[in-house]
Amino acid sequence: MASKKNTIKLQFNSSRNLAPAPESKSVAKIADKYDLFINGKFEKPSSKKYFNTINPANEEKLSSIAEGNGADVNKAVVAARNAYEKIWKKTSAKERSKYIYRIARMIQERARELAVIETLDGGKSIRESRDFDVPTAANHFFYYAGWADKLEYAFPNRKPQSLGVAGQIIPWNFPLLMAAWKIAPALATGNTVVLKPAETTPLTALKLAEIIQEADLPPGVVNIITGAGATGAALVNHPDINKIAFTGSTDVGKIIQKAIAGTNKKATLELGGKAANIIFDDAPLDQAVEGVINGIFFNQGHVCCAGSRLFVQESVYKIVLQKLKDRMESLIVGDPLDKNTDIGAINSKQQLDVIQKYLKIGQQEGADMFQSSCNIPKKGFYCRPTIFTNVAQSNRIAQEEIFGPVLAIQTFRTEDEAIEKANNTPFGLSAGVWTDKGSKIFNMTSKLRAGVIWANTYNKFDPTSPFGGYKESGFGREGGLHGLEGYLKV
Ligand code: ADP
């Protein structure tokens, strides 16, 4: 047994000494300055103000980005309204779908460039942006292109109609993919769009604006305005918006819900999470540990559905903990552009501060902290993969969303105890169950209060399946046939 463990350790250690394998930056064409994309053209902001977007891996400036104010938001909404009334509403569904297919294919053609820019701007590993973000973004456009002329089949006998202008606000964890999640179904259902990317990751949305321009989408059908919270608030409060689609923090989600209360604006809110991964003693343990690692550490834990709480059945707790620690030691934290990197940079200094605050809180609350011993670069924003054991249900690290590579581990004895503990959270976005028994999976999935539950896998996404939460994780579903409904009167 001991010698087996040593062999595994040895393999892991050697994998950390791999020669650097950086992806070339040469494909990434980033302009010095980006304006607002309104009515099919790039326009200077009325504020005349620009802010910097930086590479969180080395803190170097990548570009200056226009800061849209209320006047710019209004211009974009007017452009979207005109495009809706005069063009898009009258465009046949078949024609709409051709434009969406064209955008999908152009994303595929520029996949390498988009992946490198996503990694430079957001800090996520190139493996993640290349193998997940960009192909999944293209797949969303392909998938919804297919629905555009089949809406009557999606909602039989219900005459689905578009809403009008959709205001869409997205976060920094999956910048291009979130834009695709929001734009593709809106266009397929005949709506026009004003989209605001997050202030720390605007570049791939602006590249998407270039693609949309090249695809000859009629001017004003998609408008992309950059800026921070005030720009987003101006969009939410604009009287001529018919729908708000928001993905981001629960705090901002609550502000948005208050702002649109009493208006006719339809809304979908995809907010925070504190997902439970539950490992039973009959689970394939290596597979489960790999799923837990994938669920919380890859993408730096910057995932609303990150499995940030782990519940392990007491009888296998020790072995699971050891396997987790061994696997954590093998993870490579560092240059996101390096193809060997597992955990890239934290998206911003502000987010790193939040994570570090929670590391202190966890220790002050009496939990035991373990971090992998890897080196991290001196410049840039990085966090070692971290686990807390000896965690109580009431601890803030077990209740609040940290949005970083930090896992709170607890134990349980029975199925009922696991369900009770897992459901003891204000959130309800996702969960994971690891067991060999189908009956246990059915029991757990029917009792866990979460919008998405994975069994013996984690963080699997597909354009055909709906995604969304319960409780403070928001409402409405994105993806799949359900994702169409949020953009239609049915
Ligand atoms: P996170 O904590 O993940 O950064 P936020 O909710 O702060 O999430 O941000 C998600 C998106 O919401 C970003 O595009 C951000 O600029 C925008 N945003 C922030 N504050 C507001 C607001 N008051 N109204 C509308 N959008 C906002």
Catalytic choice (304, 305, 374, 383): 304
Residue with CA nearest ligand 1 atom 18 = 229
Residue with tokens 């001991």: 2
Residue 369, ligand 1, Cβ within 6 A: no
Those residues whose C-beta lies under 8 Å from the C-beta of residue 425, and which sit 6 or more positions away, are: 274, 276, 309, 399, 471
Residue 135, ligand 1, Cβ within 6 A: no
Structure tokens at 324: 């987790």
Predicted confidence (pLDDT) at residue 38 exceeds the cutoff of 60: yes
Those residues whose C-beta lies under 8 Å from the C-beta of residue 213, and which sit 6 or more positions away, are: 37, 40
pLDDT at 13: 42
pLDDT at 16: 63
Residue 217, ligand 1, Cβ within 6 A: no
Q: Shortest CA distance to 406 belongs to which of 313, 306, 474, 476?
A: 306
* Res. 2 pLDDT band, cuts 50 70 90: very low
Question: Tens of pLDDT along 144-181?
Answer: 999 999 999 999 999 999 999 999 999 999 999 999 99
pLDDT at 112: 98
3-class secondary structure, 485? helix
Q: Which helix (H) or strand (E) holds 317?
A: helix 317-329
Question: Tens of pLDDT along 262-296?
Answer: 999 999 999 999 999 999 999 999 999 999 999 99
- Distance in angstroms (rounded) separating the CA atoms of residues 404 and 429: 17
Residue 199, ligand 1, Cβ within 6 A: yes
Number of other residues whose CB lies within 10 A of the CB of residue 422: 25
pLDDT at 430: 94
- Indicate which atom in ligand 1 lies nearest the CA of residue 171: 10
- State in Å: Cα 232 to ligand 1 middle: 7
For the ranges 447-456, 467-476, 477-486, the lowest mean pLDDT is seen at: 467-476
pLDDT at 6: 42
Q: Which residue has the higher pLDDT, 304 or 398?
A: 398
Number of other residues whose CB lies within 10 A of the CB of residue 481: 16
For residue 477, give the amino acid letter: R
Question: Tens of pLDDT along 399-419?
Answer: 999 999 999 999 999 999 999
Question: CA-CA-CA-CA torsion for 321, 325, 326, 328, nearest 10 degrees?
Answer: 140
Predicted confidence (pLDDT) at residue 463 exceeds the cutoff of 50: yes
Residue with CA nearest ligand 1 atom 2 = 249
Indicate the average pLDDT of the chain.
95
- State in Å: Cα 463 to ligand 1 middle: 24
270 noted as active-site residue: yes
pLDDT, mean of residues 19-37: 95
**Mutation probe of ligand 1 site: the residue of 181, 252, 258, 358 with most atoms within 8 A of C-beta:** 252
Contact between 80 and 193 under an 8 Å Cβ cutoff? The reply is: yes
Residue 185, ligand 1, Cβ within 6 A: no
Residue with CA nearest ligand 1 atom 27 = 229
Tell me the percentage of the chain whose pLDDT exceeds 70: 97
417 noted as active-site residue: no
- Distance in angstroms (rounded) separating the CA atoms of residues 207 and 200: 15
Q: Any idea what the Cα angle at residue 208 is, between residues 206 and 211, rounded to 5°?
A: 120
Q: Shortest CA distance to 181 belongs to which of 132, 137, 129?
A: 137
pLDDT at 17: 73
- pTM (two decimals): 0.95
**Mutation probe of ligand 1 site: the residue of 73, 169, 300, 473 with most atoms within 8 A of C-beta:** 169
Question: Tens of pLDDT along 173-226?
Answer: 999 999 999 999 999 999 999 999 999 999 999 999 999 999 999 999 999 999
Domains of the chain: 25-271+473-489 (3.40.605.10), 276-462 (3.40.309.10)
Tell me the percentage of the chain whose pLDDT exceeds 90: 93
Residue 232, ligand 1, Cβ within 6 A: yes
